[in-house]
Amino acid sequence: MAAFKKIGILTSGGDCAGLNAVIRAATEAATGRGWTVLGLRNGHLGLLATPPDVVDLTTDVVRADLLRAGGTMLGTTTTGDPFAFPDADGRRRDRSGEVIAAIKSLGLEALIVIGGDGSMRVFDRLLTPAGIPWVGVPKTIDNDVPGTDYAVGFFTAVEVVGEALDRLSSTAASHRRIMVLEVMGRDSGFIALFGGVAGGADVILMPEFDYDLDAVATHVRRITHNRPGPVLVVAAEGIKRPVGDGKEGSSIGAAIAVGLQTRTGFDARCTVLGHLQRGGSPAVFDRLLASTFGVHAVELLAAGASRCMTAWHGGTAVDVPMEGVVTGPRFVNAGNDLVRAAKSIGTYVGESV
Ligand code: F6P
């Protein structure tokens, strides 16, 4: 068992819904053990500030409202790799030593890092050689962190996609249009897959599986009996551009819409959902995941564990070694239950599945 006097918590990488809920749960669990908790602002940037940019996290600060609040009260960053930090003159400098010195000067004996696979890699490189105990909590709308079924923030993004498809379906029906919804996810198709199935999409295009726009057009004609009709297409931002699409400047969703309109003669429109998937209040499952993970991270530190990440497997919170996480990212595979379900329901999910 390990008893700490003071630990730090930070959020790193792109924001998502549920980060505040993790901060709240971890703070309550840690202060309940008599530990002092410092929130480090803006990821590692707060540790590079002079003096370090921190906030005392007490039960008063992390009241229940935080459970509902979107974003992160600590701020975050996606820039400024501490091993190659951009100086004002544009040159890059290794400032990792300063990060470690700041952690020590603040008297922090352990850290909870709420981040995606990229942040886990950076903090593993920073904290592990310095011998600072740390536990990661996975978060990202992309759900591409290896080692866990779900990351905090993912289900909120899926809810947003599902709601967008519900709304698009009525306007698609009124105008007998093809509606293409472009969703985030970077190089992984989890948001497209889960959101597409939840919202009843007719076509789901994911980066993991090749698609053929002629085959998609044939599918569209078949399900509409060759007449203009409502069709919902979900396109992940990371899919390859359609062959022969010369419009490099347009969004991938717009390119798919144009390609389908040309091939079918049916009217098509595109909506790019963008950062709406990251903002706002967390969905119920993200609140549960965040609360469980926040408490579990503290339990792991208390048990003397380090260099591991909280994870969700088979309906329960477990922990996985960081070695299996820093290899990321994770992708949808053809054996995924939802891929098979989508296919059986009659959704086009690609040529190779
Ligand atoms: O990784 C989360 C994510 O929202 C991706 O889905 C998306 O590609 C990217 O971040 C957007 O990053 P930014 O907010 O920096 O534009």
- Per-residue pLDDT tens, the chain, 353 aa: give them: 888 999 999 999 999 999 999 999 999 999 999 999 999 999 999 999 999 999 999 999 998 899 999 999 999 999 989 999 999 998 999 999 999 999 999 999 999 999 999 999 999 999 999 999 999 999 999 999 999 999 999 999 999 999 999 999 999 999 999 999 999 999 999 999 999 999 999 999 999 999 999 999 999 999 999 999 999 999 999 999 987 776 778 999 999 999 999 999 999 999 999 999 999 999 999 999 999 999 999 999 999 999 999 999 999 999 999 999 999 899 999 999 999 999 999 999 999 88
Which residue has the least CA distance to atom 12 on ligand 1?
A: 14
Same domain, 101 and 169: no
The atom number, within ligand 1, closest to the CA of 185 reads 6
Distance 14 CA to ligand 1 centre (A): 6
Q: Does the C-beta of 142 come closer than 6 Å to ligand 1?
A: yes
CA distance 98 to 80: 13
For a mutational test of ligand 1's pocket, the pick from 11, 19, 141, 186, i.e. the residue with the most ligand atoms closer than 8 A to its C-beta, is 186
Residue 132 lies in a domain: yes
Is residue 24, in this structure, part of any structural domain at all? yes
- Side chain identity at 277, as an amino acid letter? Q
- Report the atom number in ligand 1 closest to the C-alpha of 237: 8
CB 253 less than 6 A from any atom of ligand 1: no
Catalytic residue among 142, 144, 202, 286: 142
Question: For ligand 1, is residue 140 a contact (CB within 6 Å)?
Answer: yes
Phi, psi of 32, rounded to the nearest 5 degrees: -60, -25
- Number of folded domains in the chain? 2
Pair 16, 153: CB distance under 8 Å = yes
Co-location of 205 and 340 in the same domain: yes
Residue 349 lies in a domain: no
Q: Are residues 145 and 164 in the same domain?
A: no
Atom of ligand 1 nearest to the CA of 277: 4
One domain for residues 187 and 304 = no
319 within domain boundaries = no
Q: CATH number of the domain that 83 lies in?
A: 3.40.50.450
Both 273 and 287 in one domain: the answer is no
Domain that holds residue 32: 6-153+282-313
For residues 127 and 203, state if they share a domain.
no
Residues 251, 184 share a domain: yes
Residue 320 lies in a domain: no
In which residue are the tokens 């709406």 written?
276
CA 123 to chain centre: 18
Same domain, residue pair 141 and 34: yes
183 CA from centroid of ligand 1 (Å): 10
What gap in Å lies between CA 147 and CA 325, rounded to an integer?
A: 6
- Confidence (pLDDT) at 242: 87
Q: Rounded to whole angstroms, how far apart are CA atoms 201 and 274?
A: 18
User: Can you tell me the distance from the alpha carbon of 119 to that of 140, in angstroms, rounded to the nearest whole number?
Assistant: 11
Based on the fold, state whether residues 207 and 102 are members of the same structural domain.
no
Residue 67 CA from chain centroid, whole number: 18
In CATH, what number is assigned to the domain containing residue 269?
3.40.50.460
Inside any domain, residue 198: yes
Q: What separation in angstroms does the CA of 332 have from each of 213, 275, 327, 337?
A: 21, 22, 16, 10
The residue among 169, 194, 149, 127 whose CA lies nearest residue 341 is: 194
Is 148 found in the same domain as 40?
yes
CA distance 6 to 106: 9
Q: Would residue 1 count as lying in a domain?
A: no
343 vs 144, 204, 338, 346, CA distance in Å?
Answer: 22, 10, 8, 5
Rounded Cα–Cα distance for residues 210 and 208 (Å): 7
User: Ligand 1 within 6 A of 184 CB?
Assistant: yes
Q: Is the peptide bond before 329 cis (omega within 30 degrees of 0)?
A: yes
Predicted confidence at residue 328, as pLDDT, reads: 85
Task: Outline where the chain has alpha helix (H).
Answer: 19-32, 45-48, 65-68, 96-105, 117-130, 154-175, 190-198, 213-223, 252-264, 284-302, 337-345
Cα 106 to Cα 313: distance, rounded to the nearest angstrom = 35
Angle between helix axes 154-175 and 190-198 (nearest 10 degrees) is 50
User: So what's the pLDDT on residue 246?
Assistant: 66
Same structural domain, 25 and 70:
yes
Atom index in ligand 1 nearest the CA of residue 191 equals: 6
The answer to whether the CB of 229 falls within 8 A of the CB of 221 is: no
Q: Are residues 85 and 29 in the same domain?
A: yes
Residue 166 annotated in active site:
no
Query: Does the residue 201 lie in any domain?
Result: yes
